[in-house]
Each structure stands twice: as structure tokens, then as C-alpha cells.
Amino acid sequence: MPQKKEGEQGVAVTVRVVVLNHGEGLALPAYQTDDAAGLDLVAAVPEGKPVQIAPGARALVPTGLQIELPRGYEAQVRPRSGLALKHGVTCLNSPGTIDADYRGEVGVILANLGQEPFAVSRGDRIAQLVVAPVTRAVLRPVAALSTTRRGAGGFGSTKTKTALKAAKSPARAAAKAAPNRQSQKKVKAGATPRPKPPRKKAVKS
């Protein structure tokens, strides 16, 4: 893949598109800004018949498109941040992966995590499509893996407040270095502190 220079727009990848009958008249997915990573997908539901998604429910929304990606690439279906923030609507199986050899219609699984029903009308922008290169792996069986400080720790093993503790550590260190003021007796200005009486030794009988 050609390398792009700093400040230069990424190399374009040609994706072949078939518009199905129920997608006729809709705009093709498009980038909304010069540096946007995702193309906006629109809903190809019937005109005047929006798809209603109840709270806690999900629906497969058609896009009316079939795509052919070049070999070595995938397309990822991702949620739109505006729908997630304003309505609690997101994409399940996110990011959804479209392989280069898939030839079916692109569908978006929308889930309503909000508290109100959500209507999807024809032409609504419902998700983003990000085209990205794929790195294929070659698995090699081995007897053991290399050791790391983390080891098998996972599922929250690094805790959620590590960064907060790290941020407070200088203050904690300063607090530990400072004398314990509560244990010191206050001495009035100009007054002579009273000497402590000697401790009496216990006498064995």
C-alpha cells in the first residue's frame, strides 16, 4: 500500500456498489467532512413506513446496498455518536465486519438502549462504514508463551482507578513526608513548653 505523507489525504480504495430496488433514489454513503473516517449509511426502509424500535428492542435495518471490497480489505459498521448520545441508539455486534467476499445486502443491527421508542425513517443516517486494510495472521503452536509482568491478568485486573491514584500520588507522598500535626502539641507564642515528667520505673516486689 502506498505510504501517505504527513498532511496528505489517504489513498482512495475503489469499492464496487450495487444499488438494490429498495435503495433507488437514496444517496450513496458519503464522507461528511474532508477527514472523516467513516461513510454515513442511510436507511432504505419504505417511504412513510418507518421502523419503530421499542426501548430494549433491536431491528435489522436495510441499506439497499451490496458492496464488493478489494481483497485485503474489510468494512466495519460502527454506531453514530449522535444517535447514541441523544437517543441511546447504537449498533449491536459493533463493529460489524463485512468481509471482502461477502456479496449480500449491507444491514445495520440497531438497538434502542434509550427509554423512548425510536423511529427510523427512509434516508436517515443510521451508521458509519469504515473501510480498512486487513492483516491476516498465521498461527504457530508453541509449548509456552513468553512471560510478562501482566501475565494472565484480565477482565479488570488493572483496576479502573489506577490513573486516579497515580495522579494523586505526589500529593500523598508530600502528605506522608510532612510531620503529623495532629500528634504535635500546640505551643503558644512566647510560652515555654513544659518538660515532660520522667517515667517511673516499675519496682519488682
pLDDT band at 1 (very low <50, low <70, confident <90, very high): very low
93 is in an annotated binding site: yes
* Neighbour order of strands in the sheet with 105-112: 16-19, 58-68, 105-112, 89-91
Lowest mean pLDDT among 78-87, 89-98, 146-155, 176-185: 176-185
Dihedral sign computed on CA atoms, order 75, 77, 80, 81: negative
Lowest mean pLDDT among 20-24, 99-103, 190-194: 190-194
Average pLDDT over residues 57-67: 98
81 is in an annotated binding site: yes
SS3 track for 112-177: ECCCCCEEECCCCEEEEEEEEECCCCCCCCCCCCCCCCCCCCCCCCCCCCHHHHHHHHHHHHHHHH
pLDDT band at 158 (very low <50, low <70, confident <90, very high): confident
101 is in an annotated binding site: no
pLDDT band at 92 (very low <50, low <70, confident <90, very high): very high
Average pLDDT over residues 51-60: 98
Average pLDDT over residues 74-78: 97
Lowest mean pLDDT among 124-128, 134-138, 161-165: 161-165
80 is in an annotated binding site: yes
Which three three-digit cell numbers place residue 1?
500500500
- Domain spanning 16-133 has what CATH number? 2.70.40.10
34 is in an annotated binding site: no
